[in-house]
Structure 1
Amino acid sequence: MVLPPDIFYVEDDHDFAFIMQYAVKEVSESLTVSIAEDGNSAIAQLQRYEDEKHRPKLILLDLNLPGISGLDVLKRIKEIPFFKYVPVILFSTSDNLNDVKTSLEIGANAFLTKPSGYHNLITCVKSLYDFWFQQNRSIN
């Protein structure tokens, strides 16, 4: 049985993914993170979660992925009724307004530009945690 993480993070930059795991643990020791390193792996992992009837509480999705792009992964997520109420946040180095607009039109719940520096990442993750895990009401 595949247990879902609190945060399912799709990120091809191994170093950033590693640092993100530490940042999440620094914000809340109880949060779990699972990482897929490309779009194909993300879709396969989401299929396993669906098969096991387990949902992550939040999906963070990099825009620029090898193979299947983040936007294509987002489209696929939005086509799966099982994930209808799982918030998906695009988390990218891009701050291009067209990327933001397209992501939101496809169904992203938010678009965040990755912060630079560990302290700024902690602040960002803390904000995500406070809103999506503490304040937001979900039916997940």
Structure 2
Amino acid sequence: MTSPDIFYVEDDQDFAFILEHAVKEVDETLTLSVMEDGRDAIARLEDYAREKMRPRLILLDLNLPGLSGLDILKRIKEIPFLRHTPVILFSTSDDPADVRASYEFGANAYLTKPSGYNNLIDCLKSLHDFWFTKNKSIN
């Protein structure tokens, strides 16, 4: 088992499919793992932690069936090996209460999903430039 560059928890299969293609357009060497369910995502992240592997970046949708993105975020911050892995909430919601709660629980950033493929590409280029080029990580 190897950990991906980007671990993405998203229940909208269509959006996940589009994002997967957009990620490859931004950098074809990036690996992406998509999980649809919060409980399965936590189990996979715990497996990574046991194997001393971590994704370089975790993207979480806010509204998921079962466990919410905030629930997953809280659990990530409780896992010592993953605690410092960058986590970005990536949601359609722009509700200030959602943004505030995300930061209070330890999110590194909160992004509203862009509309349109070109805007998604621009967003992912910015994410890539910062998190994979400029930011110093513990990986």
Taking structure 1 as the reference length, the TM-score comes to 0.98
Aligned partners of 2:8 and 2:21: how far apart in 1? Answer: 13
1:113 counterpart residue number: 112
Aligned partners of 2:133 and 2:94: how far apart in 1? Answer: 27
Deviation at 1:38, TM superposition (A): 1.3
Deviation at 1:25, TM superposition (A): 0.3
1:57 and 2:56 aligned: yes
1:74 counterpart residue number: 73
Partner SS, residue 34 of structure 1: strand
Deviation at 1:132, TM superposition (A): 0.2
Partner SS, residue 71 of structure 1: helix
Deviation at 1:50, TM superposition (A): 1.0
Partner SS, residue 9 of structure 1: strand
Taking structure 2 as the reference length, the TM-score comes to 0.98
Aligned partners of 2:96 and 2:6: how far apart in 1? Answer: 25
- Stretches of structure 2 that go unaligned for 5 or more consecutive residues are none
CA deviations over 1:15-37 (Å, ceiling 9, x no partner): 00011100000000100000110
Partner SS, residue 72 of structure 2: helix
2:103 counterpart residue number: 104
Deviation at 1:85, TM superposition (A): 1.7
Q: How many residue pairs align between the two structures?
A: 139
Partner SS, residue 124 of structure 1: helix
1:1-140 alignment runs, 5 A limit = 2-140=1-139
Deviation at 1:138, TM superposition (A): 1.1
> Following superposition, which runs of at least 4 residues in structure 1 exceed 2 angstroms of deviation?
none
Q: Which letter does structure 2 place at the counterpart of 1:47?
A: E
Compute the RMSD of aligned alpha carbons: 0.6
